[in-house]
């Protein structure tokens, strides 16, 4: 009798399993212009950076936590990928510990309105209010990419256990890569429980970010509300091994992102009137996409394009590197100089002498020298070929002096072969510098 009852229960279980496995779910989310969602995104990161010191290889532990909360209104969409949106960051904060150093970053209230867009495969975020600091840009640019989230779905009916390949563009976006060499990311419908479908994403990805090769592995799960056809939550776990690049050390990182998502009516901050400052096209003016750097002591400030990366700051020097599509082009060292008094500045002869006395520099040929006309400052450029610590390089020196006599020197160092790629970007940076820095806006 007991045996019969066991077999009967087993038969019911098998029948139920058979019915469940034949059930399908249409994993597709219709997105249209004007839709609005509220996101809360939490991130935890642990890892290790590896670098070379004079004494040999070194490491530093890295721990970070971040939270972002914002409503996001869709402004343009194509298929399952949102091409443009507007956000109001109610919360954007990051705490980062690297070795013994700790830093906290938040977004200025004046920059809380942010546009995110992805025309073709270029992800860009900017504030219509003006330039961002680099740490602000990283804060809002490097969290989980909500524009590509719904494109994780296969866009068709699937059964539990069925898999699909995640498209290259979506993988590149969600993994935060500038370029991709291999994509083995797959989605899978795990189960259907009532009106909720659970799917997973897993696999490996290889690519490039900021000129460094990166290897990634991903394990993620997400929930999908079948009644509303909306993704409602996601947990994304990612491990990365990064080679040393021109602007970053080698590293191993483990990241866990937890996101919740809710369909809402657009708040007043995202109304048509509130978004009048948002450009209609995908080419925002330079002042909206530039990065602002301010010397900690207020001696100077400058604006630069996003392909310049800050790599070192000391009491006397600030160093940035230009990376063009993953290719290292040049390094600029910005050095505050002694004041020459109101209306004064170094003479061309004094400037040349000072540059020729730079440690390790042997000038061999002068390419160009002369004053560059400017209405509100004195700018002098000296371009030379020579030897720097035994290596043949080209150096472009700029002296910038204000009417009150404050001075700063910019030294651009590059291989002569990279001169064409540099173009006039050194002159553009020199023209943007404020000496001394104006008050914070």
Res 22: pLDDT? 61
Q: What sign results for the dihedral spanned by CA atoms 261, 262, 266, 268?
A: negative
In which band, very low, low, confident or very high, does the pLDDT at 441 lie, cut at 50, 70 and 90?
A: low
pLDDT at residue number 119: 81
The model's confidence at residue 429, banded by pLDDT at 50, 70 and 90, is very high
Residues 6+ apart with CB under 8 A from 8: none
Q: What is the pLDDT of residues 206-241, one digit of tens each?
A: 999 888 999 999 999 999 999 999 999 999 999 999
pLDDT, average across residues 26-36: 96
Q: Are 92 and 104 in contact (CB under 8 A)?
A: no
Q: What is the pTM of this model?
A: 0.86
Q: Which CATH number fits domain 25-270: 1.10.3470, 2.30.230, 3.30.70, 3.90.1570?
A: 2.30.230
Angstrom distance (rounded) from CA 209 to CA 117 = 19
Whether the link from the prior residue into 50 is cis, omega within 30° of 0, is no
220's CB contacts (< 8 A; 6+ apart) are: 200, 201, 202, 234, 235, 236, 237
- Strands (DSSP E) contained in 129-195 are 132-133, 156-158, 163-165, 179-183, 186-193
User: What kind of architecture, by CATH, is found in domain 290-432?
Assistant: 3-Layer(aba) Sandwich (3.40)
- Asked whether the predicted pLDDT for residue 3 surpasses 50, the reply is no
Torsional sign, CA 133, 138, 141, 143: negative
CB-based burial, 119-148: b 16+ in 10 Å, e otherwise: eeeebbbbbbbebbbbbbbebbbebbbbbb
Rg of the chain's alpha carbons, rounded to an integer? 27
pLDDT digits 0-9 by tens, 352-379:
999 999 999 999 999 999 999 988 899 9
Q: For residue 332, is pLDDT > 70?
A: yes
Mean pLDDT over the full length of the chain:
92
Sheet holding 132-133, edge to edge: 132-133, 291-294, 301-304
Tell me if 184 sits within 8 A of 200, measured CB to CB: no
* Spans of all domains in the chain: 25-270, 290-432
pLDDT band at 19; cut points 50, 70, 90: very low
């Amino acid at each position: 009798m007991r045996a019969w009852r066991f077999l009967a229960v087993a038969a019911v279980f098998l029948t139920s399993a058979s019915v469940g496995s034949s059930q399908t779910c249409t994993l597709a989310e219709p997105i249209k212009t004007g839709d609005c969602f509220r996101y809360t995104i939490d991130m935890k990161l642990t890892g290790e950076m590896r670098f070379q010191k004079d004494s040999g290889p070194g490491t530093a532990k890295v721990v970070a936590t971040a939270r972002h909360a914002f409503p996001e209104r869709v402004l343009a969409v194509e298929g399952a990928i949102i091409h443009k949106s507007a956000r109001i960051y109610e919360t954007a904060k990051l705490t980062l510990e690297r070795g013994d150093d700790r830093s906290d970053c938040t977004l200025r209230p004046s920059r809380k309105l942010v546009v995110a867009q992805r025309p073709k495969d270029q992800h860009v975020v900017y504030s219509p209010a003006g330039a961002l600091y680099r740490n602000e840009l990283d804060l809002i640019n490097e969290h989980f990419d909500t524009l590509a989230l719904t494109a994780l779905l296969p866009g068709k009916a699937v059964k539990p256990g069925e898999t699909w390949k995640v498209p290259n563009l979506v993988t590149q976006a969600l993994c935060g890569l500038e370029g991709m060499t291999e994509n083995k990311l797959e989605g899978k419908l795990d189960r259907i429980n009532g009106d909720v479908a659970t799917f997973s994403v897993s696999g490996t990805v290889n690519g490039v970010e900021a000129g460094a090769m990166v290897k990634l592995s991903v394990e993620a799960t997400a929930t999908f509300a079948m009644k509303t056809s909306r993704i409602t939550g996601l947990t994304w776990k990612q491990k990365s091994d990064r080679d040393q690049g021109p602007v970053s050390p080698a590293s191993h990182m483990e990241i866990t992102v937890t996101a919740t998502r809710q369909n809402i009516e657009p708040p007043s901050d995202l109304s048509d009137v509130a978004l009048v400052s948002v450009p209609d096209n995908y080419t925002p003016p330079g002042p909206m996409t530039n990065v602002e750097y301010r010397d900690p002591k207020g001696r100077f400030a400058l604006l630069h394009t996003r392909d310049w990366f800050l790599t070192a700051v000391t009491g006397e020097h600030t160093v940035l590197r230009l990376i063009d599509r993953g290719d290292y082009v040049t390094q600029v060292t910005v050095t505050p100089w002694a004041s020459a008094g109101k209306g004064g500045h170094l003479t061309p002869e004094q400037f040349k002498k000072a540059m020729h006395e730079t440690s390790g520099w042997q000038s061999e040929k002068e390419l160009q020298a002369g004053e560059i006309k400017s209405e509100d400052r004195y700018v002098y450029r000296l371009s030379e070929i020579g030897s720097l610590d035994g290596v043949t390089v080209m150096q472009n020196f700029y002296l910038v002096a204000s009417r009150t006599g404050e001075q700063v020197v910019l030294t651009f160092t590059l291989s002569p072969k990279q001169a064409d790629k540099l173009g006039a970007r050194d002159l553009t940076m020199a023209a943007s510098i404020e000496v001394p820095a104006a008050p914070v806006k």
